Structure 1
Amino acid sequence: MKASDLLIATAVGAPLAMLLACLSPAIRKRMPTLLGFAPIPALAAALLADGTPLMFGNAQFEFSFAMDKPGAILLTVAAILWIAAGAYATTWLRNTDNAGGLVVCWLMTLTGCVGVFLAADIVGFYFLLAVLSVGASGLVLQGGTLKALRASAVYLGVALLAEAFLLAGLVMLALVMPHGSLLIRDAAAAISTSPWRDLTLGLLVVGLGIKAGLVPLHFWMPLAYDAAPIPASAVMSGAVVKASALALIRFLPFDAALPDFGLPLAAIGFFGAFYGVAIGVTQSEPKVVLAYSSVSQMGFLVAVIGMGLAVGNADAALAASFYAAHHLLAKGALFLAVGVVATTGRHRLWLVLLPAAVLALGIGGLPLTGGALAKLAVKPVLGDGLAGLLADLSAIGTTMLMFHFLSRLAASTASIPSTSAPVGFALPWLLMFVAAIAVPWKSYPLTGIGIGSYAFQPEILWAASWPILIGIVPMLVLWRWGRHLPQMPEGDLMTVGERAMRKVITWGYGLERAEGLLRRWPVATLMLLALAVFLGRMLIDWR
């Protein structure tokens, strides 16, 4: 086995082996201290593995893993977040009674997440995405409240709905792929010539768009992020949601101009970008504000993908990946900051609030931050026309929303003024802050998009500055009169249309009786993995 093959195999195999080792109660009891180490092989694979595919299995059931450039960019930053959040979770688990439940769901989610980043065939991709979904729903459940139970059920129900659309699209792809191939790169090439091109694209975009939090089926995101424990919210908002975004990047045929599909997709994305801001500024909980910021940013990312698809710009894949990578780092760090501030007194608040402000405003494109580089990377894809204008307006809205987040964050300090956050919370947060600042500068030249020094030119600095400066104006208005705004409940559209979602919610309450079984994690693990295998097997039968 080549070194690259070993790196890829270990990236997926390490968290899977740790998950299986949890079958031993003695090992499971000690596993919380090892959560930060589980993603290290994935980081090594992202940095060192080449593009040679790793295949194993037989002719009927073969998995293929490979490291492409978008996957390497996103897996690098995802692994960093998983390491930091895992270290944070180690400290957090000392104060919980159900450490084993979170550990199992954590490792299942990590296995699925890394696997999706590396999957090169549609069978393995679908199987690992199912593992990711059921693991993430379990992470939400670890919040331990009725709200967490409801959010977990909604998340799982929406995930199954998304996977139904996705399965239909993948089956239609498999029917037209040459020589019986199930490789994702062949699938992307086959879409353009498929007689069911538009329907296939629609099914894939709906399925992956739901998982990425695309409006109007985004309502699971604020519910899940608010109910989940802090470290779970961090990895879900950063790494988990980016797995679906990466899949969208890989499956869409950027080498073929499809304006009839790309432009409507971009329009939906821009709508989501503004919608997330509009609802986010009415929220009072910092985690919910961040959730709607993710709705906005994922909408903007989809708009970039749509514009690239509309004109057949192959560079859009790398540009979108780099933008997603920065958002992954910044948003994961900000969720950890929420936990750090909650255990920090107001006398020491500035030690967290100032770096958090840099990251928050960086999402809006603050000059010389990774966010400014991310905006610079997608600018050629969006152009200087209407899409470019909407991008600037989106940056203004993001700035306003991030100022609102910072004000809510400052109001959520610990009750004792001189309190300091535990070292186990502060160090992972510091790691993520440094990574969010440094990694984009280090990785930007590797994308082939341009040279990072271009960001220092005066006209580029001004282009990044003026949306931030203008965003201060509505922020001041919001601080002065924002309390008069109507408060939208988290989950907005689902709450407004709750009758239409009654079956999903009723199912969520019905899961309460099964909660005891779910907490008996070995049984739950086998059941959820069996479900994932069944869904993946359905695709093979259609081959």
Structure 2
Amino acid sequence: MMLGQLLLATTLGLPSLMLATCLSARVRERMLALLVFAPLPAIAAALFAVDSQLLVGQGRLQLALQLDVLGAILLGVAALLWSMAGLYAATYLRGTANCGRFVVCWLMTLMGCLGAFVAADMFSFYLLLALLGVGACGLVVHDQSASAWRSGGIYMGLSLFAESCVLLAFILLAAGTQGDSWLIRDVVAELPQSPWCDVTLGLLIVGLGLKAGLVPLHVWMPLAHAAAPIPASAVLSGAVVKVGIIGLIRFLPLQTALPDWGFALTSAGLFTALYGVAIGITQQHPKAVLAYSSVSQMGVIVAVLGMGLSAGETSAALYAVWYAAHHVLVKGTLFLAVGLAATTGARHLWPLLLVVAVLALGLGGLPLTGGALAKYAVKGPLGDGLAATVANVSAAGTTLLMLHFVYCLKTFAATDAQAQPGKGLLLPWCVLALASLLIPWLMYLWVAAGTVTDLLEPASLWLALRPPLVGMITAIALWYWGGRLPRVPIGDIAVLFGGLMPRNGGVSLVFTSLDAWLRRWALACMALLVLSLLFAWTLYGGGRG
């Protein structure tokens, strides 16, 4: 137990310490090469600290960290992605401007993301959610281009809206709880009997659904992923969006059947799954295609949770986590492949494209891949009705979208036909690619106690092959008639509101001043710490008498 508590403490303790040392400008500029180490305690915790609990502080300021099987699965794969993406970033961003600021934002986002998987009380979860939002915004605007600032502004606005919804939901959860406990398991257990149950659920689904990318709250995802540097895009799409998923798992009362809310959540998820494919196929940049694919995949996961909420099946959470874990690894690997392709010439590109194609088609359920195992896992919660049919259509669409991604990636190759990627980019990508192939099988054999024989039966293979086959046939058809497809801009419905954005000089002056202040990261870190302490005192010291 002591080992588990130590690992839980260092999961947040090591990145916190690294962030604190960034108050020194000299250390901050050298921290890029050390980002690979920040998530390592989280990997160890996922392996050796399951069922451990850590209480920090006393009384109303007591924070609780706890790791169950669901959290451990997502924590482990997310931490692996963060580690390898950090190693990738050390080469990708070496010698570029504003590396120190990138490091600070990276560590803030990492703490918020990994911490959300182990947070066991409402205050910890909310504080980490807010920390994640601030840090991720800094990653999005890192390049400081006009499009990056626009994407960062939209992301921050929607992030604050999501956090406001979550905060209101937490207030209602606390008000509807008989005791003084702020533990998530305690407040959620009493939610179905709360007089504010419907309002609370609505706020939670909007706030956490936005973090997960549900349509129409999804627009931050393609904009942010397209604007951020490639290693940041990898963790944003692979790991950060899973904070919304773990939030829904933690705060939805899956132990109680709520058919109306389950139907609404399932409908929103399935619509998102189809919408992401429909818009993604119109994109030409490989990062934009991957971003809309993430929108679609998050929709499938949310639909699984919705079906579980409809029937009161808590097992739906495990299946959703299994599906999400596969997506963490594969999507992170595919985003990093975009950077590899840009530094690889045509003569050396085909081995990369072959591995990418296998991983990408796995998202559509290609038999014997990790994606096929993930689709197999969620087959039970989705049932045999309309939800299952729409999910199969989504799988076919994902296959189509991933073939489109491979084609776009091919056109993204370096102009020098002899160019080869550096080892600093290739090594972390290879580790993630191997993990994407092996870890889903390990989960299937050990966690689910499945057998290979079940998957090798001709009937099972045919059922798994049908959606990808339909997607491949559709892709061939679109290669002939694809020129007729519209070119939807990145952010789709966000462009409808583009004309409403102010363009006067006063606003420009405000953003210029804000940019100058944000460059002073020592001040920014100290201000964040002070505001966090004030917020904690307000909630715990003066909020509940």
TM-score (norm: length of structure 2): 0.96
| Structure 2 CA distance for partners of 1:135 and 1:314, relative to 1, 3 Å | same
1:323–1:374: 8 Å Cα contact kept in structure 2?
yes
1:8–1:54: 8 Å Cα contact kept in structure 2?
yes
**Whole-angstrom CA distance in 2 between matches of 1:282 and 1:95:** 35
| Structure 2 CA distance for partners of 1:65 and 1:436, relative to 1, 3 Å | same
| Structure 2 CA distance for partners of 1:277 and 1:439, relative to 1, 3 Å | same
2:172–2:200: 8 Å Cα contact kept in structure 1?
yes
Between 186-195 and 160-169, the greater mean CA deviation after superposition: 186-195
Instruction: Give the secondary-structure state (helix, strand or coil) at the position aligned to 2:144.
Output: coil
CA apart distance, 1:60: 2.0
Partner residue in 2 for 1:70: 70
Quick check: 1:152 aligned with 2:152? Answer: yes
| 1:338-349 to 2 correspondences below 5 Å | 338-349=338-349
1:134–1:528: 8 Å Cα contact kept in structure 2?
no
Partner residue in 1 for 2:431: 431
Equivalenced residue count is: 542
**Whole-angstrom CA distance in 2 between matches of 1:510 and 1:363:** 43
- The one of the two structures with greater contact order (alpha-carbon pairs below 8 A, sep at least 6) is 1
**Whole-angstrom CA distance in 2 between matches of 1:268 and 1:432:** 31
**Whole-angstrom CA distance in 2 between matches of 1:306 and 1:240:** 21
Quick check: 1:412 aligned with 2:435? Answer: no
Partner residue in 2 for 1:125: 125
Instruction: Give the secondary-structure state (helix, strand or coil) at the position aligned to 1:319.
Output: helix
CA apart distance, 1:449: 7.0
Give the percent of matched residue pairs that are identical in Structure 1 and Structure 2.
52
1:273–1:297: 8 Å Cα contact kept in structure 2?
yes
1:131–1:532: 8 Å Cα contact kept in structure 2?
no
**1:333-389 alpha-carbon deviations (Å, 9 max, x no partner):** 000000000110011111211110011100111111111111111110001111111
**Whole-angstrom CA distance in 2 between matches of 1:530 and 1:502:** 32
Partner residue in 2 for 1:280: 280
Instruction: Give the secondary-structure state (helix, strand or coil) at the position aligned to 1:192.
Output: helix
Partner residue in 1 for 2:174: 174
**Whole-angstrom CA distance in 2 between matches of 1:453 and 1:106:** 43
| Structure 2 CA distance for partners of 1:140 and 1:268, relative to 1, 3 Å | same
Instruction: Give the secondary-structure state (helix, strand or coil) at the position aligned to 1:195.
Output: coil
**Whole-angstrom CA distance in 1 between matches of 2:501 and 2:533:** 28
**Whole-angstrom CA distance in 2 between matches of 1:383 and 1:140:** 39
CA apart distance, 1:125: 0.5
**1:98-141 alpha-carbon deviations (Å, 9 max, x no partner):** 11011111111111111111100000000011111101111111
**Whole-angstrom CA distance in 2 between matches of 1:233 and 1:536:** 31
| Structure 2 CA distance for partners of 1:495 and 1:534, relative to 1, 3 Å | farther
1:184–1:251: 8 Å Cα contact kept in structure 2?
yes
Instruction: Give the secondary-structure state (helix, strand or coil) at the position aligned to 1:181.
Output: coil
**Whole-angstrom CA distance in 2 between matches of 1:185 and 1:456:** 40
Instruction: Give the secondary-structure state (helix, strand or coil) at the position aligned to 1:95.
Output: coil
**1:435-457 alpha-carbon deviations (Å, 9 max, x no partner):** 10011111224444744553222
Instruction: Give the secondary-structure state (helix, strand or coil) at the position aligned to 1:261.
Output: helix
Partner residue in 2 for 1:104: 104
Instruction: Give the secondary-structure state (helix, strand or coil) at the position aligned to 2:333.
Output: helix
Partner residue in 1 for 2:164: 164
Between 83-92 and 143-152, the greater mean CA deviation after superposition: 143-152
Partner residue in 1 for 2:402: 402
Partner residue in 1 for 2:366: 366
**Whole-angstrom CA distance in 2 between matches of 1:350 and 1:35:** 30
| 1:312-461 to 2 correspondences below 5 Å | 312-448=312-448, 450-451=450-451, 453-461=453-461
Letter in 2 for 1:89: A
CA apart distance, 1:155: 1.0
**1:27-62 alpha-carbon deviations (Å, 9 max, x no partner):** 223211111111111100011003131001121211
Letter in 2 for 1:295: V
CA apart distance, 1:405: 0.7
Partner residue in 1 for 2:473: 473
CA apart distance, 1:535: 5.2
Letter in 2 for 1:464: A
Letter in 1 for 2:257: A
**Whole-angstrom CA distance in 2 between matches of 1:452 and 1:74:** 24
CA apart distance, 1:178: 3.4
CA apart distance, 1:212: 0.9
**Whole-angstrom CA distance in 1 between matches of 2:436 and 2:13:** 27
**Whole-angstrom CA distance in 2 between matches of 1:225 and 1:96:** 19
1:128–1:532: 8 Å Cα contact kept in structure 2?
no
| Structure 2 CA distance for partners of 1:449 and 1:259, relative to 1, 3 Å | farther
Instruction: Give the secondary-structure state (helix, strand or coil) at the position aligned to 1:497.
Output: helix
Letter in 2 for 1:229: P
CA apart distance, 1:198: 1.1
**Whole-angstrom CA distance in 1 between matches of 2:198 and 2:507:** 33
Letter in 2 for 1:518: L
Instruction: Give the secondary-structure state (helix, strand or coil) at the position aligned to 1:65.
Output: strand
| Structure 2 CA distance for partners of 1:502 and 1:325, relative to 1, 3 Å | farther
Letter in 2 for 1:312: G
Instruction: Give the secondary-structure state (helix, strand or coil) at the position aligned to 1:180.
Output: coil
| Structure 2 CA distance for partners of 1:249 and 1:502, relative to 1, 3 Å | farther
Instruction: Give the secondary-structure state (helix, strand or coil) at the position aligned to 1:498.
Output: helix
**Whole-angstrom CA distance in 1 between matches of 2:426 and 2:508:** 35
Between 165-174 and 470-479, the greater mean CA deviation after superposition: 470-479
**Whole-angstrom CA distance in 1 between matches of 2:374 and 2:537:** 39
**Whole-angstrom CA distance in 2 between matches of 1:463 and 1:449:** 21
TM-score (norm: length of structure 1): 0.96
| Structure 2 CA distance for partners of 1:479 and 1:539, relative to 1, 3 Å | farther
Letter in 1 for 2:182: L
CA apart distance, 1:283: 0.6
Partner residue in 2 for 1:58: 58
Partner residue in 1 for 2:25: 25
Partner residue in 2 for 1:222: 222
Q: Which runs of 5+ in 2 are unaligned?
A: none
Between 507-516 and 232-241, the greater mean CA deviation after superposition: 507-516
| Structure 2 CA distance for partners of 1:401 and 1:135, relative to 1, 3 Å | same
Between 475-484 and 305-314, the greater mean CA deviation after superposition: 475-484
| Structure 2 CA distance for partners of 1:507 and 1:340, relative to 1, 3 Å | farther
Letter in 2 for 1:410: K
Letter in 1 for 2:113: C
Instruction: Give the secondary-structure state (helix, strand or coil) at the position aligned to 2:193.
Output: coil
Partner residue in 1 for 2:301: 301
Instruction: Give the secondary-structure state (helix, strand or coil) at the position aligned to 1:55.
Output: strand
**Whole-angstrom CA distance in 2 between matches of 1:410 and 1:38:** 33
| Structure 2 CA distance for partners of 1:115 and 1:507, relative to 1, 3 Å | farther
Letter in 2 for 1:20: A
CA apart distance, 1:93: 2.0
Between 5-14 and 145-154, the greater mean CA deviation after superposition: 145-154
Partner residue in 2 for 1:197: 197
Letter in 2 for 1:411: T
CA apart distance, 1:525: 2.1
CA apart distance, 1:497: 2.9
Instruction: Give the secondary-structure state (helix, strand or coil) at the position aligned to 2:55.
Output: strand
| Structure 2 CA distance for partners of 1:400 and 1:176, relative to 1, 3 Å | same
**Whole-angstrom CA distance in 2 between matches of 1:453 and 1:163:** 46
**Whole-angstrom CA distance in 2 between matches of 1:204 and 1:453:** 41
Partner residue in 1 for 2:268: 268
2:50–2:69: 8 Å Cα contact kept in structure 1?
no
Letter in 1 for 2:213: G
Between 452-461 and 48-57, the greater mean CA deviation after superposition: 452-461
Instruction: Give the secondary-structure state (helix, strand or coil) at the position aligned to 1:54.
Output: strand
Instruction: Give the secondary-structure state (helix, strand or coil) at the position aligned to 1:413.
Output: coil
Letter in 1 for 2:248: L
**Whole-angstrom CA distance in 1 between matches of 2:358 and 2:117:** 28
CA apart distance, 1:502: 5.6
Instruction: Give the secondary-structure state (helix, strand or coil) at the position aligned to 1:94.
Output: coil
| 1:9-20 to 2 correspondences below 5 Å | 9-20=9-20
Letter in 1 for 2:288: V
| Structure 2 CA distance for partners of 1:508 and 1:271, relative to 1, 3 Å | farther
